């Protein structure tokens, strides 16, 4: 569901009594047991993306979109005869183009230029059309869904969410002109106060970080070049990383145990439709919350930022 930042879901059969909070779904006690053994930062080396999800998002998107930029600029390289005007980056780009000038003077130069122009135009047109189509659909969903939710449920100022009467526990957010967190009555009954606060903080973190924009960029990239593995997996990887980033924001000033327990409880029924937080690498995220790895060092963060910048600038320098 394009406009949803996340969704949590589980079910109870009709007539089933609500289990005590300590053993609901048969998994909550295990989470608390892990919490006792895993409250300290995990000293073992972990995947750096899980240790710095926001930085990983920037790096992944820079790498993915550098492919699109390189493809378009490759066409321009074949199509445009350039000189080398003075001045910084422009001079560097011009120097790169001058190396191809001799090739343009050959009899096949005009054909190569035509092919290059066609390639550049195709990349630009496909990107623009895909972006317009996707963003239009996202905006329509972002406008209609909160309106529909308000028709069937009243806003609850104390929760900062729209409360919808439904038997399926769910909590999710819809970004757009009127960012909204939507909560079902079943979720209100299933989660204890600490778990509910943690889940709502997770949803608000999605809205505050504008994660829907990052997901849109990833999905557009996948649709532009779906045959490349890097692009084909872009939205899946970015979805996983934004959930980790929202977990970090939600637990920045509170214990991670309630959110981990809520993920277990809400994921017990299996994957939910849409971008479900509880169904997106739930096991890995629970382990990450209960056994957090040491943060990346400042030096490593700077190196990764430099790498992301290099990925973004490489197509221009190669032009």
Burial of 72 (0-12, 13-18, 19+ CB in 10 A): buried
C-alpha to C-alpha distance for 216 and 236, rounded to whole angstroms: 12
pLDDT at 96: 53
Confidence of residue 67 (pLDDT cuts 50, 70, 90): confident
Q: How far is CA 106 from the centre of its chain?
A: 47
Angstrom distance (rounded) from CA 161 to CA 179 = 10
Q: What is the mean pLDDT of residues 112-137?
A: 84
- In whole numbers, what is the pLDDT of the chain averaged over residues? 74
Contact 274, 172 (CB under 8 A): yes
- pLDDT tens profile 243-280: 999 999 999 888 999 999 888 877 774 445 444 456 56
List Cβ neighbours of 273 (8 Å cut-off, separation of 6 or more).
1, 7, 9
Residue 201: the pLDDT is: 93
278 vs 293, residue with greater confidence: 293
Instruction: Give me the pLDDT at residue 107, please.
Output: 59
Helix-strand-coil percent breakdown of the chain, rounded to 5? 65, 5, 30
The rounded distance, in Å, linking the Cα atoms of 1 and 273 is 8
Residue 230 has pLDDT above 50, yes or no: yes
Say which range, 49-63, 64-78, 223-237, has the weakest mean pLDDT.
64-78
| Rounded Cα gap, residues 164 and 42, in angstroms | 39
pTM: predicted TM-score of the whole model, two decimal places: 0.72
Pick the residue with more confidence: 235 or 279? 235
Phi, psi of 215, rounded to the nearest 5 degrees: -65, -35
Whose tokens are 């995220």? That residue is 285
Bridge-based pairing of strands 161-164 and 155-156 is antiparallel
What is the per-residue pLDDT for 84?
Answer: 44
Question: What percent of the chain has a predicted confidence (pLDDT) above 90?
Answer: 14
Torsion sign (Cα): 263, 266, 268, 271: negative
Confidence band of 95 (pLDDT split at 50, 70, 90): low
pLDDT at 205: 93
Question: Model confidence over 6-48: pLDDT tens digits?
Answer: 444 444 444 443 444 434 443 344 454 444 444 444 434 348 8
* pLDDT value of position 244: 92
Query: What CA–CA distance (Å, rounded) separates 231 from 68?
Result: 10
Nearest alpha carbon to residue 180 among 159, 197, 166, 165:
159
pLDDT exceeds cutoff 50 at 150: yes
Please check whether residue 9 is in contact with residue 269, taking contact to mean a CB–CB distance below 8 angstroms. Answer: yes
The whole-number pLDDT of residue 101 equals 59
pLDDT computed for residue 43 by the predictor: 35
How many whole angstroms separate alpha carbon 33 and alpha carbon 39?
10
For the chain, the structural domain boundaries read 24-66+155-318
Of 135-149, 181-195, 213-227, 284-298, minimum mean pLDDT range? 135-149
pLDDT for position 100: 54
Mean pLDDT of 181-205: 90
Contact present, 177 and 143 (Cβ < 8 Å): yes
């Amino acid at each position: 569901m394009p406009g949803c930042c996340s969704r949590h879901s589980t079910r109870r059969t009709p007539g089933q009594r609500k289990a005590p909070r300590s053993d609901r779904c048969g998994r909550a006690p295990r989470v608390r047991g892990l919490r006792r053994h895993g409250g300290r930062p995990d000293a073992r080396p972990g995947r750096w993306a899980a240790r710095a999800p926001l930085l990983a998002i920037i790096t992944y998107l820079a790498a993915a979109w550098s492919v699109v930029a390189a493809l378009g600029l490759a066409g321009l390289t074949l199509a445009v005869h350039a000189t080398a005007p003075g001045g910084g980056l422009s001079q560097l780009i011009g120097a790169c183009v001058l190396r191809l000038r001799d090739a343009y003077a050959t009899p096949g130069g005009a054909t190569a230029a035509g092919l290059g122009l066609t390639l550049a135009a195709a990349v630009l047109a496909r990107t623009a059309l895909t972006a317009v189509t996707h963003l239009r659909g996202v905006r329509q969903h972002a406008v209609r869904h909160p309106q529909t939710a308000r028709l069937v449920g009243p806003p609850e100022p104390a929760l900062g969410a729209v409360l919808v009467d439904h038997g399926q526990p769910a909590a999710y957010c819809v970004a757009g002109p009127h960012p909204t967190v939507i909560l079902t009555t079943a979720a209100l009954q299933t989660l204890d106060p600490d778990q509910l606060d943690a889940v709502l903080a997770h949803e608000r973190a999605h809205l505050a970080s504008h994660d829907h924009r990052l997901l849109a960029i990833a999905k557009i990239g996948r649709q532009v070049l779906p045959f490349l593995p890097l692009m084909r997996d872009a939205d899946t990887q970015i979805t996983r990383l934004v959930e980790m980033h929202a977990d970090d924001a939600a637990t920045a000033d509170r214990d991670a145990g309630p959110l981990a327990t809520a993920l277990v409880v809400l994921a017990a029924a299996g994957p939910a439709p849409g971008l479900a937080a509880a169904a997106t690498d739930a096991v890995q995220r629970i382990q990450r919350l209960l056994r957090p790895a040491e943060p990346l060092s400042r030096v490593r963060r700077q190196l990764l930022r430099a790498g992301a910048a290099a990925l973004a600038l490489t197509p221009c320098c190669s032009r």
